[in-house]
Amino acid sequence: EVQLVESGGGLVQPGGSLRLSCAASGFTFSTYAMSWVRQAPEKGLEWVSAISDSADNTYYADSVRGRFTISRDNSKNTLYLQMNSLRAEDTAIYYCAKAKYYSNSLLRSLGASDYWGQGTLVTVSS
Amino acid sequence: DIQMTQSPSSLSASVGDRVTITCRASQDITDYLAWFQQKPGKAPKSLIYAASSLHSGVPSKFSGSGSGTDFTLTISGLQPEDFATYYCQQYNGYPLTFGGGTKVEIK
């Protein structure tokens, strides 16, 4: 059974940092690209970042580029999101999602993500 | 960025109804469109990819269609567990972008 378990969320002051983790199990983590998607309170879904299976390629939304860094440790089956210079507008539940390979294209596989974690809440407030 | 517009933003329906949700892209995305279901307080659940392909385990009462800029999600025989918010997402280009969501409520 595929499981994705996020952790690391919490309350942080504006300008602060936080590192989120997503522990994966039930599939061969090292062969799948992964994404982070967030949802601000009472708002819709927003794609944040993605990383290829080997970590050779990373992608970011403009709203987080230069502040957030996605990475992965395939030996630990874990995905990360390092968040720096946090702002109030980064307050959200952060979900990790597993890509589904149905194409040779990384983008297509990311878009067809098939499993999501339960999310971890990040609150940026003084 | 590609803008995704869903309509309606909410709808009321009865158990057993057939409902249709529309998603329009601001440019041609061929069939690179996914649909997700989200219940209150829960993570999104993946329903459909490539506009019309069901993910494993998704019941056949869900169906998707469309290509280019106009897409639909149809739910046949609405059941109590189907009352939720539904989102479309394009993946024709970065950044991946979602529609604003359609809340399906009980009439």
Say yes or no for a CB contact (<8 Å) between A116 and B45. yes
Q: How far apart, in whole angstroms, are the C-alpha atoms of residue B91 and residue B72?
A: 16
Q: State the smallest CA–CA distance between residue B42 and chain A in angstroms.
A: 7
- Reply yes or no on whether the pLDDT at B11 is more than 90: yes
User: Which tokens sit at B99?
Assistant: 């529609």
| pLDDT value of position B67 | 98
B43 closest CB neighbour out of A110, A112, A119: A119
Contact status, residue A60 vs residue A70, Cβ threshold 8 Å: yes
What tokens were used for B105? 């409520």
Count CB-CB contacts under 10 A for residue B91: 24
pLDDT at position B29 is 97
Residues of chain B neighbouring A37 (CB-CB closer than 8 A): 44
Length of chain B: 107
What is the pLDDT averaged over residues B7-19?
Answer: 96
CB contacts < 8 A, A to B, total 69
Chain A residue at shortest CA distance from B90: A111
Position A113 scores a pLDDT of 94
Residue identified by tokens 């993605």 is A50
Structure-token match 């046949």, residue found = B76
pLDDT at A46: 98
In the block, residue with structure tokens 């589904």: A100
Is A4 exposed, middle or buried (CB count within 10 Å of its CB: 0-12, 13-18, 19+)?
buried
Res A104: pLDDT: 82
Asked if the Cβ–Cβ distance from B97 to A47 is below 8 Å, we say: yes
Q: What is the pLDDT of residue A116?
A: 98
CA distance A93 to B54: 26
Q: Kindly give the parts of chain A with pLDDT less than 70.
A: none
In chain A, at which residue ranges do the beta strands (DSSP E only) sit? 3-7, 10-12, 18-25, 34-39, 45-51, 58-60, 68-73, 78-83, 92-98, 115-116, 120-124
Single-letter residue type at A124: V
Average pLDDT, chain B: 97
Question: Which residue among B32, B91, B98 places its CB closest to the CB of A46?
Answer: B98
Mean pLDDT of B72-82: 96
d(CA B99, CA A59): 20
Whether B87 has a pLDDT exceeding 80, the answer reads yes
List of chain A residues whose C-beta atoms are within 8 Å of the C-beta of residue B98: 44-47
Are the beta carbons of A2 and A115 closer than 8 angstroms? yes
Overall average pLDDT of the B66-87 stretch: 97
CB pair distance less than 8 Å for B49 and A110: no
